[in-house]
Amino acid sequence: MAVFAYGRVSTKDQSAENQRLEIERAGYAVDYWYADEGISGKVSASQRPQFAKMLGQIRDGETLVVSKLDRLGRDALDVGTTIKMLAARRIEVIVLQLGKLDLTSTAGKMMLTMLSAVAEMERDLLVERTQAGLARAKKIGKTLGRPSTTTLEQRADIIARHQAGASISELSRLHGVSRATIMRIAKPESAQA
DSSP code of residue 59: P
Closest CA to 66 of 6, 112, 11, 113: 6
CA distance readout (Å), 69 to 7, 111, 164, 180: 11, 11, 60, 41
Backbone angles phi, psi at 70, to 5 degrees: -70, -5
Q: Residues 10, 44, 105, 172: which is the catalytic one?
A: 10
Question: Which helix (H) or strand (E) covers residue 5, if one does?
Answer: strand 3-9
**Would residue 116 show up in a list of annotated catalytic residues for this protein?**
no
Residues in contact with 77: Cβ distance below 8 Å, sequence separation at least 6, in sequence order: none
d(CA 8, CA 79): 14
Distance CA 2, CA 64 (A): 9
Catalytic residues: 10
